[in-house]
Every structure is written in C-alpha cells, then in structure tokens.
Amino acid sequence: MAQRQITSSRDDAGIVEVVMECPPVNALTVAEWFELARVVRERGDDPETRVVVLRAEGRGFNAGVDIKEMQRTEGFTALLGANKGCFEAFAAVYDCPVPVISAVHGFCVGGGVGLVGNSDVIVASDDAYFGLPEVDRGALGAATHLARLVPQHKMRAMVYTSATASAHELHAWGSVLEVVPAERLRAAALDVARTIASKSPTVIRAAKGSLNGIDLWDVKRSYRFEQGFTFELNLSGVSDELRDEFAGTGSGTGTGTGTDTATGDEGAA
C-alpha cells in the first residue's frame, strides 16, 4: 500500500496544489485532519500564494474520518479529536486568504462535503458524487456544508436517507462550476486557477475577504452546533453500535467519531 500523505507544491504562477493521498479511500485519521488544516493554512498565509487547488489521488476525493481508528480508540479521545480536526480543516479552507478550488473525483462524502462546501469553486469529474451517510454511522455534521451545495429540501432528504447527489446534479444547481472526464479533472481545475492567479493578488485577497463577510450564515458556528448532536449520540451508545456494524470491529469500545461517512471500506462516520 502506498504511503499515506498530504503534500503541497506551488508553481511559478503562485498556484498551490494540496493533495490528499491516504489509501485505501482517503478516510483521514485524526492526525491527518489536523495536518490538512496546517498545510492549507500555511500555504494560504504565504504571500506568494495566489490560489489553492485541493485535490486527491486514489479511488475518491474523501471518505470522511477513519472509522476503524475511531473504534480502536478507548474513551472519547478519538471523538473529540475527529470533531476538532474536521472543524480545523473545514475552517482552514473557508478562512484561506485566497480562493480554494476543490477538484473532486469519485466519492466525496462526510468530511469531503465539509471541505468542498467551504471551498470557493468546485470542479468535478463525471464520476463524482456527494453525500452524508452520517445517520447510518450514528453521527451528524456537515449538513451546514451540504446546504451550500444543494437546495434546502434536497439537503434534508439526503441527510435523512443517506442518498447521494451526482456531480451533474450539482452542476445543474450551480454549485459545481464544471463537470469533466476524470482524466481532465486536474487540468480543468488548473485552468480555473490560472485565470484567478492572473488577476491582481491584492484584489483577489480582498474579494475573498469580502465574500466571506457577506455570507448568509456563520458556517463555523453552524457546524459546531451540529457536532454537539454527534457527541450526544455517542453518549447514548447508539453510535458505537452502528460504527461497529459498519467497520466489523465487534462489540463497541466506547469510542466515537467526528463527522463523517463511508464508502464501504474504512470510510468514516
């Protein structure tokens, strides 16, 4: 299996690529959520950065938190870590001083929705899909971010049923800028990035700050409110039962998960 890593690089135009490569399904551990937040913040704070492209290698964009890590950890340490790590990563994308373009392929579920919903521009491959299977894992969260991608009643139906929405659906709703074949995804995202990078960096940074300032709701406070219900569900014991059933980890160990989802492998909660 390839080494799990979150890497970044910047080209001469000031375009930064942040790449998640955490096989088998890009379900991030607690440490990896914090690492992703650190990388995005450091790159965004660099005055040489003009735009950030967030993408992934492997089978899909992001499968949320690593449920198996959750279920192997005693007490609520993993729950609290995942809650805080996801919060930090989502906030790093939202607060990034320059625009963040998410390039999404395959599955984008749970924590992936949190990242993409807080980004500025989304380009997706034609095999991409988005969803929150949280209720099947005994968790809640990232409805805040899903509501930025799909209409309100669609969001509610998706939360209650764990149904997914395709990239083409999101394109029709206006939240995905462009849908392209998978082999064209990185190039399409970089095309948008080059257009942004060609503008005055001072004006673009001002534009990012102004757009965040006129947002219709406080995404960080809204998401934090959702996390409180996840913690309550963990205290009730139902979350452990559902995660053990999904992950095949046997009887509950009193752990907990942050916000996220699943793909059928080590997905998240």
- pLDDT tens-digit profile, the chain (269 residues): 578 999 999 999 999 999 999 999 999 999 999 999 999 999 999 999 999 999 999 999 999 999 888 778 777 888 889 999 999 999 999 999 999 999 999 999 999 999 999 999 999 999 999 999 999 988 899 999 999 999 999 999 999 999 999 999 999 999 999 999 999 999 999 999 999 999 999 999 999 999 999 999 999 999 999 999 988 888 888 877 887 787 777 644 433 333 433 344 445 44
Secondary structure class of 190 (helix, strand, coil): helix
Q: What is the pLDDT of residue 235?
A: 86
Q: What is the pLDDT of residue 265?
A: 42
Determine the Cα–Cα distance for residues 112 and 104; give it in Å rounded to an integer: 9
Q: What is the pLDDT of residue 267?
A: 55
Amino acid code (one letter) for 68: K
Backbone angles phi, psi at 201, to 5 degrees: -60, -30
* 269 in Cβ contact with 262 (< 8 Å): yes
Determine the Cα–Cα distance for residues 215 and 218; give it in Å rounded to an integer: 7
User: What tokens were used for 153?
Assistant: 């009643």
Neighbours of 228 (CB within 10 A): 12
Whole-prediction pTM? 0.91
* 63 in Cβ contact with 30 (< 8 Å): no
* 103 in Cβ contact with 189 (< 8 Å): yes
Please provide the CATH number assigned to the domain covering 5-182+201-247: 3.90.226.10
Q: What is the pLDDT of residue 138?
A: 87
DSSP state of 181: -
